[in-house]
Amino acid sequence: MARSTKAIIADRARLLGPNVSTFYDDPLHIVRGEGVWLWDAKGRKYLDCYNNVPHVGHCNPRVVEAITRQASMLNTHTRYLHEGILDYVERLTATMAEPLDTVIMTCTGSEANDIALRMAETVTGKRGIIATDATYHGNTSLVSQLSTSNVPSMGFGLDQFFRFVPAPDSYRAPDPDGTAFANVVAQQIAELETEGTGFAALVVCPYFLNEGFPSLSPGWLNVTAEVVRKAGGLMICDEVQSGFGRIGSHFWAHDKMGIVPDVVTLGKPMANGHPVGAVVANGDTIGAFRRGYRYFNTFGGNPVSCAAAMAVLEELEAQDLIANSADVGVHAQSRLQSLAQKYECIGDVRGSGLIFGAEMVLDRGSKEPASAFTDKIINKMRHEGIILSKLGRHKNALKIRPPMPFSKENANLLFDTLDAVLANTPLTS
Ligand SMILES: Cc1ncc(COP(=O)(O)O)c(C=O)c1O
């Protein structure tokens, strides 16, 4: 029986438990998607400027066909021989630098990061992990402790192995060549070594997306990577959000940041919504992990997942979507800059390719975050048929991260609507 929207909200709490999260004050009931568009239960159409998982577009025909074809043929685990995973891994690793040639496939980004941290432990014999203080790397017992917003009393005591450094913030604390960041990482490494935990790895999103995607110059992570290597630790790049051409200029954000990581973790956009993640490293690192931990993943790398993931790579190439990301990204930022000339509340405009946004402030001089105002804007945009979100330490940065087929025309609709919403929303009330 079809439930009303009100009944769905009540039944979510009843069946999924209290405090299950939803987006928006007035939650959306989406029933269909196609390309960059979504439709709600009443048939209203929304422009999706937020969802990065349907990377090559909602219900992309190539991906749907690949899943359907493989699901009607065979789906089983990787203890039987199957060429699908081999073809996929060959094509995936061809997009990365040479040492990154071996892969463990998982079902989520969390699993991938969990493995990456355990790899660092098996390679170095140490357990100290460094991350930024405004990040998110997933939901397992181990990696959930990398989110500083977690309740400190929870987590089986695993947080004893973690140290945090301030996330880069190009707007409030510029660090043009990354030296200040490298210095705080070096400080934490020294402390981990002194206290006896030892240093195993630094894990970062190379575009610091959850941290608010600060504007960092190409090669910015270079000096930090040097510090990590010298200390004998692994450099882990979490490309769960930043990868697969999202940033437009490069296939991988670590390339833009000027480094070849020891381990790369993948997820979200990898198979357009089919649950697929991966850890990429060299064969020795993956071998060390498998010697240290007996590892098997029932669903990771199954033939249907690999077919879906392969279709994403094919579609990116066939539709030239990374070039589109670069091109539309430049247009979007110029539209945002024009709005910044009109509205004082836009303190900073930034992004790369199809991840872009603006930081909202109460005052350009003090840069005080306009967090409540940003929330109001997001909710008003939803009522105007535009889906986007907010992020960053103060939750005052508009987060715009649409599917990769997003066009300049789509961007114009987004910014014309944002212009009208900003004109009608007082900064304080
Ligand atoms: C950077 C980053 N890493 C890892 C994860 C976890 O991925 P998953 O939800 O697939 O476990 C997320 C999810 O938001 C993420 O943003």
Using one digit for the tens of pLDDT, what is the confidence trace for 107-162? 999 999 999 999 999 999 999 999 999 999 999 999 999 988 766 678 899 999 99
Identify the domain containing residue 74 by its residue range.
61-318
- Residue 152 has a pLDDT of 66
Same domain for 304 and 200, yes or no, is yes
Same domain for 326 and 210, yes or no, is no
Gap from CA of 49 to ligand 1 centroid (Å): 18
Same domain for 251 and 385, yes or no, is no
Residue 335 lies in a domain: yes
CA dist., res. 262 & res. 144, Å (int): 22
Same domain for 162 and 218, yes or no, is yes
Query: Is any ligand 1 atom within 6 A of the Cβ of residue 35?
Result: no
Same domain for 167 and 268, yes or no, is yes
Residue 136 lies in a domain: yes
pTM to 2 decimals?
0.97
Q: Looking at residue 263, which CATH number applies to its domain?
A: 3.40.640.10
Q: Which of 318, 351, 372 is the last residue of a domain?
A: 318
CA dist., res. 20 & res. 154, Å (int): 19
Same domain for 260 and 330, yes or no, is no
Residue nearest to atom 15 of ligand 1 (CA): 137
Q: Which of 295, 318, 341 is the last residue of a domain?
A: 318
Residue nearest to atom 3 of ligand 1 (CA): 137
Beta strands 389-391 and 397-399, pairing class: antiparallel
Number of separate domains in the chain: 2
Same domain for 164 and 151, yes or no, is yes
Distances (CA, A) of 175 to 42, 184, 352: 48, 12, 18
Residue 19 lies in a domain: yes
Same domain for 189 and 310, yes or no, is yes
Q: Which of 318, 353, 371 is the last residue of a domain?
A: 318
Residue 240 lies in a domain: yes
Distances (CA, A) of 413 to 159, 246, 341, 380, 423: 45, 20, 19, 15, 16
Residue 428 lies in a domain: no
- In single-letter form, the type of residue at position 317 comes to E
Query: Is any ligand 1 atom within 6 A of the Cβ of residue 238?
Result: yes
Same domain for 364 and 224, yes or no, is no
Gap from CA of 339 to ligand 1 centroid (Å): 31
Same domain for 410 and 310, yes or no, is no
Q: Looking at residue 372, which CATH number applies to its domain?
A: 3.90.1150.10
Residue 220 lies in a domain: yes
Residue 379 lies in a domain: yes
- 385: Cβ contacts below 8 Å, ≥ 6 apart: 44, 45, 46, 47, 417
Q: Which of 137, 205, 265 to mutate to test the pocket of ligand 1 (most atoms within 8 A of CB)?
A: 137
Same domain for 282 and 360, yes or no, is no
Residue 150 lies in a domain: yes
Q: Per-residue confidence of the chain (429 residues) as pLDDT tens digits?
A: 588 888 999 999 999 999 898 899 999 999 999 999 999 999 999 999 999 999 999 999 999 999 999 999 999 999 999 999 999 999 999 999 999 999 999 999 999 999 999 999 999 999 999 999 999 999 999 999 998 876 667 889 999 999 999 999 999 999 999 999 999 999 999 999 999 999 999 999 999 999 999 999 999 999 999 999 999 999 999 999 999 999 999 999 999 999 999 999 999 999 999 999 999 999 999 999 999 999 999 999 999 999 999 999 999 999 999 999 999 999 999 999 999 999 999 999 999 999 999 999 999 999 999 999 999 999 999 999 999 999 888 899 999 999 999 999 999 999 999 999 999 999 987
Same domain for 143 and 226, yes or no, is yes
